[in-house]
């Protein structure tokens, strides 16, 4: 048998497109976050809270990724910010080429902060670079404190952890200290924020952090 050496990353093509996207962001002064979580952790609610917080001060654009429906884009467009919906039709994550295509429908010059809300899935989106400055993983206390140990790759690849729904802590079986400890064991460099998108608690601190990064 003849052997042909390849040594090529399977996602090399995705990574190349992600680099191209990163170049566009840099050129236009866009700070981009890739928001990832399980379905129902409150990503869209957090997007809404971020938009409310920065209203009139920071130009925000949003890319919504979902398996089906444009319900999230409808929610976000109510806030009068540019939003593009990507429907993956069964795909479990966003890929760089989908994001690159959707950028044609956004004005990057007029964007300071781009929020890419990924498909709700704590596994697959971890491996795909979308050209973002950072991945922000959202977890809600209703999911339990063991999730960082069960889905480590997402926590390794994220820079920020937002723990949402802290208003529900009295009612659910989740030890938030244990949750943080588990997350920081997986990735000690994670910046952790505790928020409630219902009461608004903690949202300001997280947004101030975002603003300091822009």
Binding interface with another protein (CB under 8 A): 1-14, 91-93, 95, 123-124, 126-127, 149, 152-153, 156, 184-189
Non-local (6+) Cβ contacts of 165 within 8 A are: 41, 42, 140, 141, 142, 196, 197, 198
Burial of residue 167 (CB within 10 Å: 0-12, 13-18, 19+) is middle
In the complex with another protein, the residue whose CB is nearer, 30 or 98, is 98
Please report how close the Cβ of residue 2 comes to another protein at its closest, in angstroms: 4
The residues, any chain, with a CB within 8 Å of residue 184's CB and separated by 6 or more, are 190, 192
- Closer Cβ to another protein, 14 or 198, answer by number: 14
Strands 191-194 and 60-66, sheet pairing? unpaired
Instruction: Decide whether 9 or 205 has the Cβ nearer to another protein.
Output: 9
For another protein, which is the closer residue by CB, 22 or 93?
Answer: 93
Quote the least distance from Cβ 21 to another protein, whole Å.
18
Please report which residue ranges of 29-169 form alpha helices under DSSP H. 43-54, 71-77, 96-102, 147-150, 152-156
Closest approach, Cβ 184 to another protein, in A, equals: 7
**Cβ of residue 93: shortest distance to another protein, in angstroms?**
6
């Amino acid at each position: 048998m003849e052997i042909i050496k390849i040594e090529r990353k399977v996602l090399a093509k995705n990574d190349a497109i992600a680099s191209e996207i990163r170049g566009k962001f840099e050129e236009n002064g866009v700070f981009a976050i890739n928001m990832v979580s399980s379905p129902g952790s409150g990503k869209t609610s957090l997007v809404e809270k971020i938009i409310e917080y920065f209203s009139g001060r920071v130009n925000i654009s949003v890319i919504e990724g979902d398996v089906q429906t444009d319900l999230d884009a409808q929610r976000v467009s109510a806030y009068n910010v540019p939003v593009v919906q990507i429907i993956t039709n069964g795909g479990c994550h966003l890929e760089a080429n989908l994001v690159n295509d959707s950028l044609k429908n956004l004005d990057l010059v007029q964007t300071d902060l781009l929020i890419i809300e990924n498909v709700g899935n704590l596994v697959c989106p971890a491996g795909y670079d979308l050209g973002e400055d950072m991945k922000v993983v959202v977890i809600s206390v209703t999911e339990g404190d063991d999730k960082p140990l069960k889905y480590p790759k997402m926590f390794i690849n994220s820079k920020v952890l937002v723990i949402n729904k802290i208003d529900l802590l009295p009612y659910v079986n989740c030890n938030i200290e244990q949750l943080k400890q588990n997350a920081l064991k997986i990735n000690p460099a994670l910046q952790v924020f505790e928020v409630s998108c219902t009461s608004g608690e903690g949202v300001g601190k997280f947004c101030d952090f975002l603003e300091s990064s822009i």
